[in-house]
């Protein structure tokens, strides 16, 4: 079970109970099918909206409850702890990543246009940063948005886009001038119903098989200039201001998933017998479990400190990078040990730990690789 922590109150516990019921009734019965088909069903979004799980920080005037980011973390933790990583990732990108750009940098008209649908699940949001030749180096983005009268004309290709198949709007990282520097980068919201927008293939991944991850294409897509988010040439500044929240979210997701891996492994270790006794009774295995328990306890203290600082507007880029780096690397260590303790059964996909091992690997890559996190931390030394 996830630990009880002082950072949360009774309202957060009520939301936890809601998430657990939602997982039991709407996710668990459908998850195997979604994994097989490589995508969650579209009705998953409307049901998540009905349950109140989407975008809790949206102000009341736009259909939300105006909560602080701790409510997001409750949903994030419980979805990750469920072990159903695909649906967890889809919701997190929508609520914890994309939403911040619109709340912090959108105009009142933009918020009124898109936020109510993001709350009720009728509008799914994606953010398009990565391109086939551009990963962590965002300044290498080549997608262009050329001003033509009252419109921008968007051309380019993006890949590894979470929610790419279901999204109704995409926050696209583009170049709005021919200059090389970051001052030429802008964010433009593209409705996917516009002519020239194309969805490519739903990508075949190592893990998170039911997560919606796609290629998308912009072929002379005309978008009103009013869809510019936060001002022309401010794209990099906006990205840098919002990426700490994304990185904290990935870290907390990794931690909750690591807790789940540990919990199911403890149960297995004291059920599975070898040489006439449970494998958890062997000192070498007990000590491995003790090390994992210690790391998880440290991780939750670190996560709570980081969440508290973020809610209070104090979490800086280096601290968020530390959270993502340490928590995701810790998850990698723990799931690896958990597979080892399961022995041959840990290599079988019918056992949850096998799937969780594959699902975990992406956390050290997306949102900024561990190597990039170390570079960002080193700049603040």
C-alpha closest to that of 252 among 291, 310, 205: 310
Residue 307 near residue 7 (C-beta atoms within 8 A): yes
Same domain, 249 and 365: yes
* Whole-prediction pTM: 0.96
Same domain, 174 and 63: no
Same domain, 203 and 275: no
For residue 138, pLDDT over 90 is answered with no
The reply to whether 2 falls in a domain is: no
Q: What is the mean pLDDT of residues 148-165?
A: 97
Look up residue 47 and give its two tokens: 């049901």
H or E stretch including 216? strand 213-224
Same domain, 249 and 350: yes
- 349: CATH: 1.20.140.10
**C-alpha to C-alpha distance for 376 and 360, rounded to whole angstroms:** 22
- 152: CATH: 2.40.110.10
CA distances to 67, 170, 231, 318 from 377, rounded to whole Å, are 30, 30, 28, 5
Same domain, 170 and 219: yes
State the number of CA atoms in the 13 A half-sphere of 7 facing the CB. 20
C-alpha closest to that of 48 among 19, 72, 28: 19
Same domain, 266 and 363: yes
Number of structural domains found in the chain: 3
The reply to whether 3 falls in a domain is: no
Say which residue the tokens 């979490």 belong to: 315
Q: What is the pLDDT of residue 134?
A: 81
**C-alpha to C-alpha distance for 145 and 148, rounded to whole angstroms:** 9
Same domain, 77 and 197: no
Same domain, 134 and 118: no
C-alpha closest to that of 46 among 143, 134, 118, 126: 118
In whole numbers, what is the pLDDT of the chain averaged over residues?
96
Q: What is the pLDDT of residue 290?
A: 98
- Of 166, 201, 232, the one marking the end of a domain is 232
Q: What is the pLDDT of residue 165?
A: 98
β-partners of residue 380 are none
Domain boundaries, position 315 = 236-378
Same domain, 207 and 290: no
Same domain, 373 and 259: yes
Instruction: Place 376 in a pLDDT band, splitting at 50, 70 and 90.
Output: very high
Same domain, 245 and 373: yes
Q: What is the largest CA-CA distance in the chain?
A: 79
- Of 90, 123, 156, the one marking the end of a domain is 123
Span 343-372, pLDDT tens digits: 999 999 999 999 999 999 999 999 999 999
**C-alpha to C-alpha distance for 52 and 19, rounded to whole angstroms:** 9
Question: Which positions are annotated as active-site residues?
Answer: 246
Q: What is the pLDDT of residue 179?
A: 78
**C-alpha to C-alpha distance for 242 and 32, rounded to whole angstroms:** 33
Q: How far is CA 332 from the centre of its chain?
A: 17
Span 244-264, pLDDT tens digits: 999 999 999 999 999 999 999
The reply to whether 241 falls in a domain is: yes
CA 109, 111, 114, 116 torsion: positive or negative?
negative
Instruction: Place 333 in a pLDDT band, splitting at 50, 70 and 90.
Output: very high
Q: What is the mean pLDDT of residues 282-287?
A: 97
The reply to whether 5 falls in a domain is: no
Span 161-202, pLDDT tens digits: 999 999 999 999 999 988 777 789 999 999 999 999 999 999
The reply to whether 1 falls in a domain is: no
Helices and strands per DSSP (H, E), number in the chain: 12, 10
Instruction: Place 303 in a pLDDT band, splitting at 50, 70 and 90.
Output: very high
Q: What is the mean pLDDT of residues 67-91?
A: 98
For residue 265, pLDDT over 90 is answered with yes
- Transcribe 327-368 into DSSP letters: HHHHHHHHHHHHHHHHGGGGGSTTSHHHHHHHHHGGGGTTTS
Instruction: Place 122 in a pLDDT band, splitting at 50, 70 and 90.
Output: very high
Q: What is the pLDDT of residue 178?
A: 81
H or E stretch including 325? helix 317-342
**C-alpha to C-alpha distance for 107 and 233, rounded to whole angstroms:** 16
For residue 25, pLDDT over 80 is answered with yes
Same domain, 274 and 361: yes
Instruction: Place 1 in a pLDDT band, splitting at 50, 70 and 90.
Output: confident
**Burial (CB count within 10 angstroms: exposed 0-12, middle 13-18, buried 19+), residue 27:** buried
Bridge-based pairing state of the strands 151-162 and 213-224:
antiparallel
For residue 286, pLDDT over 80 is answered with yes
Q: What percent of the chain has pLDDT over 90?
A: 96
Say which residue the tokens 């990750």 belong to: 80
**Burial (CB count within 10 angstroms: exposed 0-12, middle 13-18, buried 19+), residue 318:** middle
Q: What is the pLDDT of residue 136?
A: 72
Q: What percent of the chain has pLDDT over 70?
A: 100
- Of 185, 212, 232, the one marking the end of a domain is 232
Q: What is the pLDDT of residue 183?
A: 84
State the number of CA atoms in the 13 A half-sphere of 43 facing the CB. 3
Which long-range contacts does 8-11 make (Cβ < 8 Å, 24+ apart)?
8/70, 8/74, 11/71
256: left (phi over 0), alpha (psi -120 to 50) or beta: alpha
State the number of CA atoms in the 13 A half-sphere of 279 facing the CB. 17
The reply to whether 173 falls in a domain is: yes
């Amino acid at each position: 079970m996830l630990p009880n922590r002082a950072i949360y109150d009774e309202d957060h516990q009520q939301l936890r109970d809601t998430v657990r019921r939602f997982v039991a009734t709407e996710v668990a019965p459908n998850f195997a099918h979604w994994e097989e088909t490589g995508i969650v069903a579209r009705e998953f979004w409307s049901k998540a909206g009905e349950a109140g799980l989407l975008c809790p920080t949206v102000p009341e005037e736009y259909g939300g409850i105006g909560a602080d980011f701790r409510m997001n973390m409750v949903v994030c933790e419980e979805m990750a702890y469920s072990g159903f990583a695909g649906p967890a990732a889809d919701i997190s990108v929508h609520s914890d990543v994309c939403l911040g750009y619109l709340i912090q940098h959108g105009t009142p008209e933009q918020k009124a246009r898109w936020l109510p649908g993001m709350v009720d699940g009728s509008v799914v949001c994606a953010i398009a940063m990565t391109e086939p030749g551009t990963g962590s180096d965002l300044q290498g983005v080549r997608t262009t948005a050329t001003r033509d009268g009252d419109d921008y004309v968007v051309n380019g290709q993006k890949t590894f886009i979470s929610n790419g198949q279901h999204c109704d709007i995409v926050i696209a990282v583009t170049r709005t001038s021919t200059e090389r520097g970051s001052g030429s980068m802008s964010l433009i919201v593209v409705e996917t119903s516009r002519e020239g927008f194309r969805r490519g293939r739903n990508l075949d991944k190592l893990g998170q098989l039911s997560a919606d991850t796609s290629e998308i294409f912009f072929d002379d897509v005309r978008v009103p200039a009013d869809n510019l988010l936060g001002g022309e040439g401010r794209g990099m500044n906006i990205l840098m201001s919002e990426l700490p929240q994304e990185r904290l979210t990935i870290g907390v997701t990794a931690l909750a998933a690591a807790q789940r891996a540990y919990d199911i492994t403890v149960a297995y270790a004291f059920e599975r017998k070898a040489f006439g006794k449970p494998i958890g009774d062997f000192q070498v295995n007990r000590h491995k479990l003790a090390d994992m328990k210690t790391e998880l306890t440290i991780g939750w203290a670190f996560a709570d400190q980081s969440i508290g600082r973020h809610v209070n507007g104090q979490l800086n880029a280096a601290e968020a990078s530390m959270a993502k780096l340490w928590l995701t690397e810790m998850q990698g260590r723990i799931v690896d040990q958990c597979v080892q303790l399961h022995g041959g059964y840990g290599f079988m996909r019918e056992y949850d730990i096998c799937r969780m091992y594959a699902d975990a690997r992406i956390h050290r890559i997306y949102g900024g690789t561990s190597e990039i996190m170390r570079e960002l931390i080193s700049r603040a030394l």
